[in-house]
Structure 1
Amino acid sequence: MAGGSVERLVQIVSLSVLLQYAFAKPSLSTDIELDEKYWNTHRIDSLNILLYTFLLILTVVTIWIFKYRRARYLHETGLAVIYGLIVGAILRYSGDRTSVSHMVVVPKGDPTFSNPVPPDSLWLKYFHPNATQNRTYAYMFRGEIPESLENEIVQKATFDPEIFFNILLPPIIFSAGYSLKRKHFFKNLGAIFTFAFLGTTISTFVVGGLVYGFLWIIGSAYSFIDCLLFGALISATDPVTVLAIFSDLHVDVNLYALVFGESVLNDAVAIVLSGSIESYGSDSGGFETSAFFMAILNFLWTFSMSFLIGSTMGCITAMLTKFTRLKDFPLLESALFVLMSYSTFLMAEAADLTVATNKNKIRGVSENVSSLSSKGIVAVLFCGICQAHYTYNNLSAESRIATKSLFELLNFLSENFIFCYIGVSMFTFDHHKWDVGFISIAFVAIIVGRFMNIYPLSFLLNIGRRPKIPTNFMNMLFFSGAVKLFDHFCLLHSNINLVYIYGD
């Protein structure tokens, strides 16, 4: 009896499926085509991830060979860029014809949408000839696309800047603070703060002023604000390559502390400064007095509040690990440490730290000072310093090893991924604009700005400093920073989307 009921149920279900297929065959055909489209998109995404994974594998093997052979004539980060260039050229000119379909949608004065900026999502009513009914598809906002790539693989090889700022950047900055040699860092803290804060500001105005003067002579349309913004972005030094060589050569600890300390702090200073310039330049393109002082106020306010958020989260983690028995469970202890540290970045990004001001002064699309994750960078940097100074001593032996190893690994992979991506994006990024005159004057301005940063400030510091900064230290500070400024210029030029995603 039960068997007969099951058979009848199976027959009924089979009949209903057949009837549904018979009366809705066009719709089913559309679903199959959509599934194929989803699968093809998934395949392309997997191919691009695989591509960068193989690039990282090749970079790791290269680093091992260089360390094994003790080769110092070319650093592994340079080869990572070269590998990326080769792969980018192959992607660009390999002849792959995986096309990307486009449909130009022109709004016709929809009264329901009057916002001056584009909508967050677009609902497209698509009329498929084989479908039994019209369907609506959602498309998310990605940003302005002056030109569209016709190759889907090349298009997807250029990743979303949010991946850079929210995934790749936080572990690099946190690792810089967490791996800090605290004794020598705090011993040279005055000089480090001078170079990072005052020196970066000097470099910003020197570079911006020289570039603006040159562009004014040739009659360019760039404003003083644009040139200052370029000066702020290009004045950040991140001497990854130089510090790696310093570690191999075992240079003087004070020199290492000065170069390292300046690099990890002036990244945040330059980005906060660029956000202030971007947000509070007047509509005419110059600085008004009130806007200038408001920019300084917001710079100090944002930096101070970001420092407070990072330090507070670091101290909270230290107290949790000190006054609880978390060390009895190393896995939970390490997990809490990582989550608290990363939440610092997100907390600072979610917080509105901008001093209220006249909205008409704001040139960007955001009212926040930072369009470039500056608050999160400052917060996670000082969180890392506090975690190293306080929390690390409260962790169990297993958690100390685990957290150190984890962030060293994330830092290594993120940095090398970025170097590989710089090379790939030289061919896959579609908005290059080469200007030999601008590039030449930019190089000269970078050198002059770096010179005006290091040597005058070193002379002033030596008046009351013991021990004094020797001339060879000054030269090394100058050259190590100038070399990485050129790298920043190449990154800025090869993928401006990474550093100016909200620009005009």
Structure 2
Amino acid sequence: DVKYSEKSPLVSIPDFERNVINITQSKLKVPKKFVIKTNVSKPHEISLINWRWDAVGTYLLICSFLLIAAGVKICYHHSNILNTHVPESCVLIILGILVGLLLYVTNLQSDPHVPKFTSELFFYILLPPIILESAYSLHDKVFFNNIGTILLYAVIGTVMNVFLIGPSLYICSRLGLFGNFDMSVLEILTFSTLISAVDPVAVLAIFQEVNVNKALYFLVFGESLLNDAVVITMYNIWTTFAAADTVDAAQIATGLLGFITVSGGGLVIGIFLGAVTSLITRYTEDIKVVEPLIVVAFAYFAYITAELFHFSGIISLIACGIWQEEYARHNISKKSYTTIKYLTKTLSSVADVIIFIFLGMVLIRDDHIWDTTFVVLTTIFCIIYRFATVFSLTACANYFFQRVRMVNFEEQLLMAYGGLRGAIAFSLAESLDPKHIKQAELFITTTLFIILFTVFVMGSTTKPIVKFLQVQIHVKQEAKLFTEINNKFMETIMAGIEETAGQRSFNYWAQKLNRFNNSYIKNILIRGGAMNATKINVTFDKVIYKDHSPPVIFRPSIVGCEACFNNKAFRNTETNENRIQENEPSVSRIQATQITPHSSFMDRIHVRKAGDANPDYSKALADAFSRSAYYQLSGSFRVVEDREKKISREMEKKNRWVTAKTKLGAMKAENSEQCAEKPRERRVSSALHCVVSAALKREHDKREENRDTESLHKF
């Protein structure tokens, strides 16, 4: 039944399950060029143990790498020597080098199950979580106060680096310093563009460990995020020109317009999808489980959509993340917000680990092309021109931008020193086409060397330089209502002074934008309007829900005064009126009343659980409260109520006091007339008048004392 032909090298065995043929024992003669595939075991045979490396080998290796990296990070943070002198990114790169050496020695580099570092893997899988987590952290007033200086570094500074490094290398090439390596102008400009990309992954990894002040951190990190649009746009222009036969004026004009379309298109897509996220989360109050999925999925969708139209996915993701942080987070619950926060942090940390391990693995390869002069001169030019652009642009920003806080010399030095290169430069170098860029392998080797030099040498010495220069360190402070109220007060005062003086600067336009935002945008995108998203209310939520363990919150109708607990109607109130409100940020601060009773009161409260046979726990609550030491000492329970109810209560007391005083005066006049001739009745009336007057006086003194105590407490 065996059939074969010279056209097909495969031997077909029909009805294999019934007739198992052992080819090796048959007398069939097959030419050597033919390949015979057979299986001597039945395909549906049940076995106890199977080896399925072809199916799960790749996933097993990835999981093993991550677990090893996690173990290395744990050891790193428990080692005082490494933690003090060596950045974590350097340790991960060394781990990647060891893994690459192991794969090289065992000849497993070409194994299809070993994951490979590609540009698609980096830009579409590993980079978005890092950018999204960074975008959420950019929602800060300090970042927007320095946005002009950041754009100056990101756009003008990047262009200056490209057109300083490129011509310098081209002149050296014309002088014959690079030997037999002949490079054209477009090749040099392409390489100078990709090597000018300050990597946000490397900067984030180093500067988070250094913990510099927020202004310096946002200047360096914001530049590394926003300059990628310029780098990628210029990279596409030069590679297109290198592949074209001729370059005309129309192509040059199109390339110049690419700066605007790449950045502007990504910004528009990010803002639009961020607004869509906010609108959808307005209606997820009853299905909170999908809120983290909606927010994260729309952010990634913004990145992919921008890349689909060849816009800047990084700018799109940053815009979408900031928009979600400004509007959508007020629509989701506190638990969903916490889930999104730690999910993005976890994904960002995992992506960091994978990127640095891959950077170490790609160093072990056979196709490196090395030229010492080219590598050394490129490194020197990158460092010198980085310092030159930072100092010159900072001088312009300090002089022309009317900065309230000047960037001092120490911070400028640290900014220039923090121009680290990383995976973005390497990914762009890996994307070079050797058909059009003849020296692509030399550029890849030089890029890897500069990445190692900036991360190991400059990154490792950043901490000592910060200590030596005595750069201001960021001290994390707890959220305080006083700070936010004071900041809001100062902003309003500054805007008023500018309006009075007739000079409209940043504060004036910030107030205008804030009013438009509160009047229109927040009312559309936020559930409940702008009142639920003010800075003071957000700070209040942070104070109340600190450490995710907020105080117990009751309805004002339940806890208020002693009479409530003695009222029979109160004890017969329905269960839903006595239930402790759920710990969610959607609870209105006007409807809720915060209490901080004595511990004995808390110990005696028995909250009804599911399946409890006694649904009436209000009596137990009243009994526990009446027996508490706090109640016995004070005689009443003070609560914080909203302003409207407090004013109405004070007005009622005042009206009762005026009415009682009027009646007392009328009674006194009437008794005086009736008892003018009756001394005994006059004495009784006077005694009654004294008793009533004393009672009213005690009530008045008590109210005044409580008012003074409340004023002192507020002060």
Q: Distance in 1 between matches of 2:333 and 2:66?
A: 33
SS at match of 2:212: coil
- Note if contact 1:310-1:383 (Cα within 8 Å) is conserved in structure 2: yes
Matched, 1:156 2:114: yes
SS at match of 1:170: helix
Q: Distance in 1 between matches of 2:131 and 2:431?
A: 16
Question: Which amino acid in the other structure matches residue 279 of structure 1?
Answer: T
- When residues 502 and 187 of structure 1 are mapped into structure 2, their CA distance, relative to the original with a 3 A threshold, is farther
Query: Which structure has the higher relative contact order (CA within 8 Å, separation 6+)?
Result: 1
Q: Distance in 2 between matches of 1:86 and 1:70?
A: 18
2:255 counterpart residue number: 295
- The CA RMSD over aligned residues, in Å, is 3.3
Q: Distance in 1 between matches of 2:434 and 2:314?
A: 17
2:328 counterpart residue number: 391
Superimposed CA distance per residue, residues 58-109 of structure 1 (whole angstroms, 9 cap, x where no aligned partner)? 333134325x779321011110001111121122124x5x6xxxxxxxxxxx
Superimposed CA distance per residue, residues 16-65 of structure 1 (whole angstroms, 9 cap, x where no aligned partner)? 765464699999973649x9xx9554464245324422442233313432
2:308 to 350, 367, 379: 350
TM-score by length of 2: 0.51
- Note if contact 1:75-1:241 (Cα within 8 Å) is conserved in structure 2: no
Question: Which amino acid in the other structure matches residue 305 of structure 1?
Answer: G
1:201 to 142, 155, 159: 159
Matched, 1:407 2:349: no
- When residues 503 and 55 of structure 1 are mapped into structure 2, their CA distance, relative to the original with a 3 A threshold, is farther
- Note if contact 2:186-2:241 (Cα within 8 Å) is conserved in structure 1: no
2:189 to 228, 232, 235: 228
Question: Which amino acid in the other structure matches residue 433 of structure 1?
Answer: I
Shift of 1:254: 1.1
SS at match of 2:377: helix
Question: Which amino acid in the other structure matches residue 468 of structure 1?
Answer: M
Q: Distance in 2 between matches of 1:500 and 1:488?
A: 15
Name the % identity.
Answer: 26
- When residues 53 and 247 of structure 1 are mapped into structure 2, their CA distance, relative to the original with a 3 A threshold, is closer
Q: Distance in 2 between matches of 1:51 and 1:224?
A: 45
Question: Which amino acid in the other structure matches residue 425 of structure 1?
Answer: V
Shift of 1:306: 1.3
- When residues 498 and 379 of structure 1 are mapped into structure 2, their CA distance, relative to the original with a 3 A threshold, is farther
Question: Which amino acid in the other structure matches residue 92 of structure 1?
Answer: Y
1:56 counterpart residue number: 69
1:471 counterpart residue number: 409
- When residues 402 and 173 of structure 1 are mapped into structure 2, their CA distance, relative to the original with a 3 A threshold, is same
Matched, 1:317 2:277: yes
Shift of 1:312: 0.8
1:166 counterpart residue number: 124
2:140 counterpart residue number: 182
Shift of 1:192: 0.4
- Unmatched tracts of structure 1, length 5 or more: 1-14, 99-148, 354-373
Matched, 1:462 2:398: yes
- Note if contact 2:225-2:314 (Cα within 8 Å) is conserved in structure 1: no
- Note if contact 1:62-1:76 (Cα within 8 Å) is conserved in structure 2: no
Q: Distance in 2 between matches of 1:250 and 1:46?
A: 36
Question: Which amino acid in the other structure matches residue 473 of structure 1?
Answer: E
SS at match of 2:391: helix
SS at match of 1:156: coil
- When residues 349 and 498 of structure 1 are mapped into structure 2, their CA distance, relative to the original with a 3 A threshold, is same
- When residues 350 and 239 of structure 1 are mapped into structure 2, their CA distance, relative to the original with a 3 A threshold, is closer
- When residues 310 and 242 of structure 1 are mapped into structure 2, their CA distance, relative to the original with a 3 A threshold, is closer
Matched, 1:90 2:49: no
- Unmatched tracts of structure 2, length 5 or more: 1-13, 29-33, 44-50, 437-715
2:318 counterpart residue number: 381
Shift of 1:251: 2.3
- Note if contact 2:76-2:83 (Cα within 8 Å) is conserved in structure 1: no
- Note if contact 1:180-1:388 (Cα within 8 Å) is conserved in structure 2: no
2:296 counterpart residue number: 338
2:378 to 435, 442, 465: 442
Q: Distance in 1 between matches of 2:148 and 2:219?
A: 10
TM-score by length of 1: 0.71
- Note if contact 2:76-2:82 (Cα within 8 Å) is conserved in structure 1: no
